[in-house]
Structure 1
Amino acid sequence: MEKENNPLSGYIMLFVTFLLLAVTLFLFIGMRNLIGLASLLAFLIMLPGFFYVNPNSSRVLVLFGDYKGTVKKNGFYWVNPFFTKQAISLRARNFDSERVKVNDKVGNPILIGVILVWRVSDTFKAAFEVDDYENFVRIQSDAAVRKLAGLYPYDNFEDDEAEITLRSGLDEVNHALELNLSNRLEIAGINVIEARIGYLAYASEIAGAMLRRQQATAIVAARHKIVEGAVSMVEMALEDLSKRNVIDMDDERKAAMVSNLMVVLCADKDVSPVVNTGTLNH
């Protein structure tokens, strides 16, 4: 598990190093070459121990395969020169995946991509549980998207019982995607801040057919509303004429009036009026 390391201040050790360098020069001047050489060697060995940590960054310290902790506090430090110091960023990162072609729940080929916002929360897991945590994020995001697409239909054209679809149920789908990715990336110490579908469309081979189907569905729905409104208007017109005794019509005349009003109200184009100069029966 991750543990925090608090190393020595680099400024203090920098002063010690410069002091050691001064002693080395003094020894060489005093012709004490053997002691001066040892002092110079100690000076050179101490130099690799210096390092710095930027804000929202960290350094994982390892000594010959033994994990010694992680430095997260920004500053200038000095540690054992034999430590290896792996830099791991703690900043939030964006990942916009490539658009992959997968089949939805009912088998339709679709193109889908995900936008992921993530950051490293456990440096030990990120450094030692997986080979390359950045590549791990990319591969697991692709796997999560493929699994998600197979759980929901793109739309409810062929699955009338589907309450959640990829196109309409974005909140539920994004929540499921975020939960899936969180479980997958936990092994690498990755915290998923946000995950959502960034691109969604039918694959090119069926996009035209599905577009025509969507248009037909929209036209049918619009016609249904038009007819429903027209029926209400005709009913209201007949009731008003009957209440006001404007004209006394039998069933045949009512049928003719209903037919004419429905044509006028439901027609796609403007209706050209026909003026009848005869009687109502001719």
Structure 2
Amino acid sequence: MNTTNTTGSPTPEPEGSSRPARLIQNEATTEIPVHLLFRDDAEPRPVPLEPAVVGGRPGTGEQPRLRRPAQQAKARPLAQVDPELVERPARVLPGVVGVLAGTCGAVGCVAASWWAGVLPPLAVEALQLPECAGAGLGPVQWAAYAGAGALGLFGFGGLARGRTGRAWVLGLFGRYRGTVRRTGLLWVNPLLLRRRVDVRLRHWRSEPMPAADRSGVALRVVVLVVWRVRDTARATLGVEDHETYLRECVEAALARISVETPGAPRSSVEAAGEALTGLVARDAGAVGLEVFSVQPVLVEYAPEVAPAMHRRRIAALDAQHRASVLTSVVDSVEDTVTRLTMRGLVELDDYERKALVKDLTVAFCAGRQEQSP
């Protein structure tokens, strides 16, 4: 069997030799077996994806090198970065324990006073205590006073009242010790610092904030934000003032989102509100705030551009009104001329037709101006 070379001329096969593999060869490529180009594999081999082999540049002697795909750095959540800034329940006791401890401390102080003989006679009669000669205020009596007083102070001083929609963030020497979300009478360690946090659903109507539309025209926007504190530890300890932080997040979102001008369709306003909600919720979520909605309730031009935009709007409305009036007049003139000629009432040449159109246009325009306020 003869094969063909790159020029198209047949190449005879040597006699007495086995059938060689057919080759394709030219001056730009190496020899490639023809049977490899038309090979049909029943099960294709999987192609390895990594590591990638990057060939060297020809003529430079550079060897092929391996290039591993870049691995994207995974951002660790805030809970793994600082485990202390995660809300967890604090250890508190029922209020009955504090009442009992305080009562025991008060009774101990009265007993120590009776033992030392310094209890007033009226108090002895009122309490119906037996008379005691009194041992005086010695070290033992002072120790009893100190123990009973400390018990009473810790008992009554740790009483707290938990309310619905309120939480206590507890700290000891600058360290977060937990959050109390329980209601009713509770006993909390009086040595802990308490910070009250409002965890109810809240709304905030902002003051006019600067913004811009798609054309870059300065606007003033008032937004309504519906939010609540989801993580009291982050909201209290992760930022100095979470309300101020939320306000700054709203201002940053307004700087990144284009707000529609006054009089825009409702769909555009809703789209801007959804975009604002997404940005503010993402930024405020890092400090434990949950944002449900950020909707613009008032959009107006900035004071420095309001007169110019008002004049532009009036000019646009005037031009639109003129265009509509002109279209109506042209349609009326065309209808009048067409009826006159189609019914054979008049026969007009080109000059007379132009004169009639001109007169009708002037008459209709004058009538529309008299009708308009």
TM range (shorter): 0.7 to 0.9
Can you list the C-alpha shifts for 1:49-81, whole angstroms capped at 9, x where unaligned? 111122211111223344332222322211222
Shift of 1:173: 1.2
Shift of 1:35: 1.7
| Distance in structure 2 (CA, Å) of the matches to 1:262 and 1:73 | 82
Q: 1:170 to 1:22 in 2, by over 3 A?
A: same
Contact 2:104 / 2:152 at 8 angstroms: preserved in 1? no
The corresponding residue for 2:170 is 61
| Distance in structure 1 (CA, Å) of the matches to 2:313 and 2:188 | 65
TM-score (norm 1): 0.78
Can you list the C-alpha shifts for 1:213-250, whole angstroms capped at 9, x where unaligned? 1111111112222223333333444444455x372342
| Distance in structure 1 (CA, Å) of the matches to 2:360 and 2:95 | 91
The corresponding residue for 1:141 is 250
Aligned match for 1:262, one of 353, 361, 364: 361
Structure 1 residue ranges (4+ consecutive) displaced by more than 6 angstroms after TM superposition: 165-168
Unaligned runs of 5+ in 2: 1-85, 117-139
The corresponding residue for 2:92 is 7
The number of aligned residues is 259
| Distance in structure 1 (CA, Å) of the matches to 2:266 and 2:227 | 24
Say whether 1:174 aligns with 2:259. Answer: no
| Distance in structure 2 (CA, Å) of the matches to 1:240 and 1:166 | 42
Counterpart AA for 2:326? V
The corresponding residue for 1:160 is none
Unaligned runs of 5+ in 1: 156-164, 272-282
The corresponding residue for 1:250 is 348
Contact 1:112 / 1:201 at 8 angstroms: preserved in 2? yes
Can you list the C-alpha shifts for 1:188-222, whole angstroms capped at 9, x where unaligned? 21111221224433333332222111111111112
Say whether 1:202 aligns with 2:311. Answer: no
The corresponding residue for 2:5 is none
Q: 1:58 to 1:169 in 2, by over 3 A?
A: same
Cα RMSD after superposing both structures: 3.0
| Distance in structure 2 (CA, Å) of the matches to 1:260 and 1:16 | 106
| Distance in structure 2 (CA, Å) of the matches to 1:258 and 1:47 | 100
Contact 2:281 / 2:290 at 8 angstroms: preserved in 1? yes
Between 232-241 and 194-203, the greater mean CA deviation after superposition: 232-241
Say whether 1:26 aligns with 2:138. Answer: no
Q: 1:238 to 1:51 in 2, by over 3 A?
A: same
Q: 1:207 to 1:66 in 2, by over 3 A?
A: closer
Counterpart AA for 1:13? G
Task: Return the index of the structure with the highest Cα Rg.
Answer: 2
Can you list the C-alpha shifts for 1:28-61, whole angstroms capped at 9, x where unaligned? 2123623233111221133331111222111112
Q: 1:75 to 1:261 in 2, by over 3 A?
A: farther
Aligned match for 1:39, one of 145, 148, 161: 148
Q: Which has the higher helix share?
A: 1
TM-score (norm 2): 0.61
Contact 2:210 / 2:254 at 8 angstroms: preserved in 1? no
Shift of 1:152: 5.6
Contact 1:154 / 1:167 at 8 angstroms: preserved in 2? no
Say whether 1:231 aligns with 2:316. Answer: no
